[in-house]
Chains A and B, each alone.
Chain A
């Protein structure tokens, strides 16, 4: 539920980065935080364990400028990826407007990606949202590992596993180097804003 303030003319949009543990959700936000530092007024908030794993969520708000006189405030969240934290993932998904599903392209993570996507589907159903209707972008992260000799799945396989039914926009990316991080973000912002506009008309 994005919140629209008619008095101040502000729309708050909630975008959640979702995906299996260690797939690079926080790394995506960290890159955005560094790259677009000038447009971001506040500090990124990270609630993590001593081992640098996300415990609750990361939070990064920034202003996107105006659409039809309304200030658009984008709020990026990540969820904790570890399997045991599903209750927390569900909490973070409350009121979500758009989701980036970050998949781990490493061959050994194949099954975890599929499980995580299935769980996203279930968690959204708990809020009466459908994964087929909510704005969604899939990112196949860590494609840079190929150059380091780590076995990764070809994009065609990842696409077949994760995006054959959803048919949403998808990107190969490398959150650590920044490759396609901004492209993913731009795509989810535009899909989400369009979807909010449609709902309001």
Chain B
């Protein structure tokens, strides 16, 4: 059994990336989860209160389902997902085989702008995370 342990330093680096790339942009809440539904870290704008633990379990299930659908149509994966609502939206993006970045945001942010920032944040997080595997 492998245990996912991340050092305090790495988590702080990841939190800084999330704050500067996404929360500053106006994203309500950013969660990084693993595919088993565990929460790695949560950052929010301190106004939104979501039940993040249930959210993580459902998000991991949702992503696993979409992954299985991808295989059925002959795709290796669908690496991002987007759910649009009246007032809030959710964007899911794969960091690597184990990790998922979820952003919840309102109607003031354009999807394109968010996606650009998500891509940059993910690149930076990968670098921090890979240090963990060494």
Contacts and interface: CB of A to CB of B under 8 A. Distances in A.
A3 B38 contact: yes
B78 to A, nearest CB: 16
A57 B35 contact: no
B58 to A, nearest CB: 6
Given A7-B8, A7-B12, A1 B34 contact: yes
Contacts of A56: 61, 65
Interface string B23-64: 000000000001111111100000000010110011011001
A91 B57 CA distance: 11
A75 B54 CA distance: 9
B110 interface: no
Secondary structure at the B interface, as helix, strand, loop or mixed, is mixed
A179 interface: no
Given A7-B11, A73-B53, A75-B53, A14 B37 contact: yes
A77 B61 CA distance: 11
B37 A43 contact: no
Nearest to A44: B54
A47 B4 CA distance: 27
A1 B36 contact: yes
Contacts of A73: 53
Interface residues of A, number: 33
A199 B1 contact: yes
A77 B57 contact: yes
B6 interface: yes
B5 interface: yes
Contact of A95 (B37, B61, B65): B37
Interface string A1-45: 111111100001010000000000000000000000000011101
Secondary structure at the A interface, as helix, strand, loop or mixed, is mixed
B3 A6 contact: no
Given A87-B68, A129-B1, A2 B38 contact: yes
Interface in B1-20: 1-8, 11-12
A51 to B, nearest CB: 20
A42 B36 CA distance: 19
A183 interface: no
B1 A43 contact: no
B54 A200 contact: no
A171 interface: no
A163 to B, nearest CB: 22
A19 B68 CA distance: 23
Given A6-B7, A95-B36, A1 B2 contact: yes
B5 A6 contact: yes
Contacts of B6: 5-7
A153 interface: no
Given A42-B53, A75-B53, A87-B68, A5 B41 contact: yes
5 contacts: A5-B39, A14-B38, A45-B54, A75-B53, A75-B57
Interface of B: 1-8, 11-12, 34-41, 51, 53-54, 57-58, 60-61, 64-65, 68
